[in-house]
Structure 1
Amino acid sequence: WHIIEMGKENNEIDDPSSENKDESVTIKEEDMLSYEEKLKFVSPIAKPMAPRKLTKKLYKLIKKASKEKKCLLSGIKVLQKELRRGSTGIVVFAGDVLPVDIMSHLPVVCEDKDLPYCYTPSRRDLGLAMGVTRTALVVMVPPRPEYQELYDEVKEA
Structure 2
Amino acid sequence: MTKIKAEQDGPEAQAEACCGERTYRELLVNLNPIAQPLASRRLTRKLYKCIKKAVKQKQIRRGVKEVQKFVNKGEKGIMVLAGDTLPIEVYCHLPVMCEDRNLPYIYIPSKTDLGAAAGSKRPTCVIMVKPHEEYQEAYDECLEEVRALPPPL
2:37 corresponds to which of 42, 48, 65: 48
Q: Match of 2:80, SS?
A: strand
Is 1:90 aligned to 2:78, yes or no? yes
What RMSD over aligned residues (CA atoms) do the two structures have, in Å? 1.1
Question: CA separation of 1:67/1:28 partners in 2, compared to 1, >3 Å: closer, same or farther?
Answer: farther
Is 1:80 aligned to 2:78, yes or no? no
The answer for the alignment partner of 1:18 in structure 2 is: none
What CA deviation, in whole Å up to 9, does each residue of 1:29-56 have, x standing for no partner? 2x31110110000101000000000000
What is the percent sequence identity of the aligned residues? Answer: 50
The answer for the alignment partner of 2:103 in structure 1 is: 115
TM-score of the aligned structures, taking structure 1 as reference length: 0.80
The answer for the alignment partner of 1:34 in structure 2 is: 23
Unaligned residue ranges in structure 2 (runs of 5+): 1-15, 146-153
What CA deviation, in whole Å up to 9, does each residue of 1:48-107 have, x standing for no partner? 0000000000000000001113x1100000011001100000000000000001100100
2:136 corresponds to which of 145, 148, 151: 148
Q: Match of 1:91, SS?
A: strand
Q: Match of 1:83, SS?
A: helix
The answer for the alignment partner of 1:126 in structure 2 is: 114
Unaligned residue ranges in structure 1 (runs of 5+): 1-25
Residue correspondences, number? 130
Structure 1: 4+ residue segments shifted above 6 A: none
TM-score of the aligned structures, taking structure 2 as reference length: 0.82
